[in-house]
Amino acid sequence: MPDAIYIDPDREGWAVFKSLPRDQPINMLNLIRLRERAAYPVGHADHGASISGREAYRAYGRTTAHIFKRVGGRQIWVGAPQVMVTGPQDERWDIAFIAEYPSTQAFIDMVRDPEYQELVKHRTAGVVESRLICHWPVDPGEGFGE
């Protein structure tokens, strides 16, 4: 697969997200495909360093954890994808997780935090493709999709 187009939200998706009620809890499904080697921008302290995409993504997680926690976020599920059973066979993910936020506003506050905006460069350097899907949490029923 070529380098992806989907690393950060696009204008349209971000606009729709910001139009959601700001006080409702959300779950964010994250699907992450990592670069073999991190690609830090020129001028970043890690530019040109031999750092894997996984190491860069871990640096992102470690350095932003206090901001994530401060806004009330928590990781509620994480998995290591193994095989695409249904879906495009050339699509693969290295990390899958669900982050819970107390509100859409909490997520917005996190991504607008100036410190977060600096530290997210680790994520951008390590990720080649991603999906971020916002969900309203619902109580599951007895069967699938209920």
- Check residue 1 and give its pLDDT: 45
- Per the structure, the count of domains in the chain is 1
pLDDT band at 142 (very low <50, low <70, confident <90, very high): confident
Q: Is residue 40 in some structural domain?
A: yes
The pLDDT tens digits of the residues spanning 11-41 come to 999 999 999 999 999 999 999 999 999 999 9
Is 11 within a domain? Answer: no
What would the pLDDT profile of 57-94 be if each residue is shown by its tens digit? 999 999 999 999 999 999 999 999 999 999 998 889 99
On whether residue 28 sits in a domain, the answer given is yes
- Domain range for 108: 21-84+92-135
Tell whether 145 is covered by a domain.
no
pLDDT in tens, 99-117: 999 999 999 999 999 999 9
CATH number at residue 108: 3.30.70.100
Average pLDDT over residues 126-140: 95
Neighbouring C-beta atoms of residue 131, cutoff 10 Å: 14
Q: Please determine, for residue 145, whether its predicted confidence score (pLDDT) is greater than 90.
A: no
